[in-house]
Amino acid sequence: MPVRRLPSNPSLAHLKHQANDLLKDHAARSREAAQRVREFHPRFARATDVEIFAARLKLSDAQLTVARESGFPSWPRLKRHVEKPTDLDLPHHERIEDPIFRRAVDLIDAGDAAGLRAYLKQHPKLTRQHVTFEGWNYFRNPALLEFIAENPVRHGKLPRNIVGIAKIIIDAGVEKSALNGTLMLVATGRVPRECGVQTPLIDLLCDHGADPDGALVTTAVLNEMEAVHALIARGARINLGVSAALGRIEDFRRLLPKADSADRHVALALAAQFGQVEILRMLFDAGEDPNRYNPPGGHSHSTPLHQAAGNGHLEAVKLLVEQGAKLETKDILFHGTPAGWAQYAGWTEIEAYFRSQQKEPQQP
């Protein structure tokens, strides 16, 4: 889920209260608390709600969870930021402290191919160097190549020759992890798509060894369908989740029997998000729970019912409710119910359906 952005003048006392409240919610067996712990505490990344509730959670565990959901790797790092704040709202290039790295990013942003080529010859280690950012849940430790994606958005545009700029950096020598990280950012970014370079950049990165499989599910979750098809064209395998998002029923039926619980969970989130009713039915026949929060990387602050309602899929909403999806569950980030999501998005027919359901108590 997105990190909880800190206010401009964060209070350490308030953050300590958040950690204590998380401990209380955990003791009360709150599903929301379990989801927060699962996503942001590394020790519980694959734990079920039952396993999380059975664990003895210490104050230090709650503080680590609060720190990481605020975009910091540890409580001491969060505490240091509170005591000596930095402006987390500055564009990322303005937060780079290393002047040599900052100059290379400026050359990328200017589209100065000749200048960048010469600069990388002068500073050959730059292409394998990383910078560290805090206050985010992605783009935390990017390499130079990752700045070509304009994701997160810094200027809202890319140089016309950005494909050539990317090739200059790649030709100067980059790690495989930088290729894969850049592919993820390009495939999930709106600016590359809006500038007409998303597919050419995907092709360039895959030509040089980026793995199209690694970016496929997240790209589908973020509804970058042009990029989804570009990744498939470059050899990404259609898995259970992507077949659910695309409504590829025969592929889904073929893949479902061998899918594990994690795969089915992702598929449930995507089927609800894209209103794939027949696929939802198959997942419920396989025993999926409509009341689980979505998995990390799959709009995990929300449930399938939130996603179906917020995206305007009435038939999917009806099926989820028939299967026992709870109307009163609130999302973790905005504290809205599925009906609230429908109202915010302007889906009046779904709003009316929820009102009709609230007149009759749901089955326990």
Provide the mean pLDDT of the chain.
Answer: 95
Per-residue pLDDT at 340 = 97
- Sign, CA dihedral 322-326-330-333, equals negative
* pLDDT of 1 above 70: no
Quickly list DSSP for 40-106: H-GGGTT--HHHHHHS---HHHHHHHHHHHTT-SSHHHHHHHHHS---TTS-GGGG---HHHHHHHH
Per-residue pLDDT at 70 = 92
Per-residue pLDDT at 7 = 81
Place of tokens 């027919």: 349
* pLDDT of 175 above 60: yes
Average pLDDT over residues 12-36: 96
Contact (Cβ atoms closer than 8 angstroms) between residue 155 and residue 109: yes
3-state DSSP call for residue 130? strand
Average pLDDT over residues 239-248: 98
Q: Which residue has the higher pLDDT, 12 or 1?
A: 12
Per-residue pLDDT at 20 = 97
% of the chain surpassing 90 pLDDT: 90
Average pLDDT over residues 275-284: 98
3-state DSSP call for residue 281? helix
The whole-angstrom separation of Cα 295 and Cα 306 is 13
Please report, as a single letter, which amino acid is at residue 228.
Answer: V
* pLDDT of 196 above 70: yes
**238 contacts: CB under 8 Å, gap ≥ 6:** 232, 246, 248, 251
Per-residue pLDDT at 88 = 79
The tens digit of pLDDT for each residue in 93-138 reads 999 999 999 999 999 999 999 999 999 999 999 999 999 998 888 8
Per-residue pLDDT at 211 = 98
Per-residue pLDDT at 52 = 96
Quickly list DSSP for 196-255: T-HHHHHHHHHHTT--HHHHHHHHHHTT-HHHHHHHHHTT----HHHHHHHT-HHHHHHH
Per-residue pLDDT at 8 = 78
HSE-up of residue 237 (Cα within 13 Å, Cβ side):
4
Q: What's the predicted TM-score (pTM) here? A: 0.89
**Residue 259: both structure tokens together:** 């899918």
The tens digit of pLDDT for each residue in 78-89 reads 999 998 888 777
* pLDDT of 183 above 60: yes
Per-residue pLDDT at 361 = 56
